[in-house]
Chains A and B, each alone.
Chain A
């Protein structure tokens, strides 16, 4: 199996001594190089890291506009956009931020995703800058601006569309079986039973990615116990996992799984590689709980389905639950944050203002995103699908609470360990009570 390993069955000998000598030489040389590093091109160009998916064209247009603008000339700086392929984004950003070639401005998910950077004093606190700037202060929906906060301080400015989690359904399957989207949990269970009798998997689920499984727990806990349950956990109290709503949600998940609501193969189906969207689009599954990007994913992979048969609805309410049925979970948006060692702070701030501009919001709308800017409602008529855009905007605007995805809120270390526990719960390798016990240990 291993042609790629250099550890052979060699005994330690003189060669090792020689190697060690060379090592010392090399490390000395290396550290000498390291200290003189730096990514500066010297001409005042700032580097901006961005998550490299299809939406990058909006940021690229903003950068092009900014570099030609009077604001850029005044600040004496330009921006260079660096696209990092999506799956590599987090590790690449982490490595770069720990090195001399760190970006000046970078894309992130707010909350827990930037916590280590804030703790390492790597991010500029933008609170006062936003407070004192009319454009930034009034430019964005306050709930979205706040969702990326850490302890009430702003470290980022919204820069992409909102991404609430929505219950998508296949209209032709629903019409064929005379169904309407569920508004209560009992209706959902009823639809579930009917679809199974018809031999259709009720819900598509990309279980191998784990985060699609997480979306179920997020909504169930919110509907059962309200946003306060996770808020407590997010604020660092791991005992918050002991809330009855979490156990109840985990039991409901187990019931759904045992009942076959996700089919029998979901643990090896992936969203990222297109498995779950295909199952859904081809009518093998009737519904799909997914982030709002599902629309553009389907538009790319199965355009006919996206235009004709893709329906959307809010997550149903649960009888007896204390959470408001208008609450939303997901990613409020993405943010730009600024490195404390930025080469030209004025230019960076001027660029952030560009992302509050009308042109920027229009570009987002044209790309199928729903901007989080305060003026977005007026622009949605130009969206590729105005009906869908308005549905999203209204859903988020009316939501009393928008809970950030748990993994993003908790940060990488806890988020990864939570993923493992969720995956075990869905795969039947753990029980609801063991799930709760294991989550209490996440600290």
Chain B
């Protein structure tokens, strides 16, 4: 379509006035941009919550580089992100594609699968904390007392809680795939497995990106479950970066250092998201229906 044929009225209808964005922008500015800016400022100061922040230049950032706990924590954070992504993506993709079908009882089961998302993270973490109690829980094993057990418990509880959201995203994505593709594939003799890998998966690639960005950024800022389930333990073996940030801020009252960790997380999470969007070509929004 050339520009000359587009009527001005339609162009305006397709692009609403900027004022409409104001409530959203204000909300985002007030609850995200302002706190982020303040945290960035605090990262160059020393502040114990009393009196005025005292500028200390790059001290906190230097401390961030020198702190031996950060190295371990960074590694744990990366590991948690990778494990969560793998666990949630694989299961949510399969569940979502299944939920997009027309099987019997599908709607009922989907509704049940969805319930964890309605609970607050704190409630979910407390629930699992009680279930995993070494003396009075259901397994009565020292799950949270061993490094690997505690780590896997965190991956599992987080996955259990957020998987429904990603299932829903994949369900919506899979519903969008034209049936005609499957019909054609069936005529060509492709079985369900071949159909999944040659049609469903390629057609869902933007959905995978959306869901992955959410999982990865979510994992990087994951916190409540760690606080309630393990408090970073045993020792410091589940002390991921957001937990160290909390500890520096609200246990040691070293808000400058906590802000440095927070700023580092913001930069990392934003960088990773942008990278992911670039690499997958999500940003250019190339249609999955090209050539159809």
Contacts and interface: CB of A to CB of B under 8 A. Distances in A.
A3 B88 CA distance: 13
Nearest to A201: B135
Interface string B261-279: 0000010011001101100
Nearest to A30: B34
A23 B133 CA distance: 46
B253 A413 contact: yes
A380 B237 CA distance: 47
A7 B277 contact: no
B25 A3 contact: no
B236 interface: yes
Interface in B200-243: 209, 213-222, 230-237
A209 B18 CA distance: 52
Interface in B124-179: 129, 132-136, 142-145, 150, 158-159, 161-162, 165
B252 A417 contact: yes
A37 interface: no
B26 interface: yes
- What DSSP secondary structure best describes chain A's contact surface? helix
Interface in B6-36: 18, 21, 25-26, 28-30, 32-34
7 contacts: A1-B219, A2-B219, A27-B34, A94-B48, A265-B145, A267-B233, A420-B236
A162 B254 CA distance: 31
Contacts, number: 170
A98 to B, nearest CB: 4
Interface string B67-84: 001000000000000001
Given A2-B222, A3-B214, A22-B25, A429 B135 contact: no
Contacts of A22: 25-26, 29-30
B282 interface: yes
Contacts of B237: 429
A5 B217 contact: yes
B50 A98 contact: yes
A268 B235 contact: no
A357 interface: no
Which size class do A's interface residues fall under?
A: 35 or more
Nearest to A88: B250
A131 B24 CA distance: 60
A117 interface: yes
Given A91-B250, A420-B69, 13 more contacts: A1-B158, A3-B214, A6-B28, A15-B25, A23-B30, A23-B34, A116-B50, A120-B50, A267-B233, A278-B135, A413-B253, A423-B236, A427-B145
A92 B188 CA distance: 67
B59 interface: no
Given A116-B50, A265-B142, A268-B144, A1 B159 contact: yes
Given A23-B37, A208-B231, A268-B145, A2 B214 contact: yes
A426 to B, nearest CB: 9
Given A1-B222, A2-B215, A7-B270, A117 B21 contact: no
Top-4 shortest CB links A-B: A2-B218, A429-B235, A1-B218, A265-B134
Nearest to A99: B49
A122 B252 contact: no
B135 A269 contact: yes
B273 A8 contact: yes
